[in-house]
Structure 1
Amino acid sequence: MLHSNTPAVDRPRSDVLAFVGENLRRLRRRAGLSQVALAEASGISRRMIVNLEGGDTNVSLSSLDRLAEALDATFVELVSDPAAQSRRIDAVVWRGEHPGSEAVLLGSVPARAEAQLWTWSLGPGERYRAEPDPEGWHEMIAVVEGRLLIERDEGPVTVDAGGYAIYGSAQRYSYVNLHDGITRFIRTVVC
Structure 2
Amino acid sequence: MDSLTHEILIWKHIQTERVDDYKYLLTELLELGYIILSVTIDGKRGVSNLFKDYPIQMCHFHQKRIIQRYITLHPKLEASQDLKKIMTRLKYSDETRFTKALDIWNIKYKDFLNEITLHPDSQKSSYTHKKLVAAYRSIRNNLPYLFTYKNHKKLNLTNTTNLIEGGVFSPLKILIKIHRGLSKNLKLKIVDDYLVSYKKRE
Common fold by TM > 0.5: no
Task: Calculate the TM-score normalised by the size of structure 1.
Answer: 0.26
User: Which structure has more helix as a fraction of its residues?
Assistant: 2
Point out which structure has higher relative CO (alpha carbons under 8 A, 6+ apart). Answer: 2
Task: Calculate the TM-score normalised by the size of structure 2.
Answer: 0.25
User: Which structure has more strand as a fraction of its residues?
Assistant: 1
Q: Which structure has the greater CA radius of gyration?
A: 2
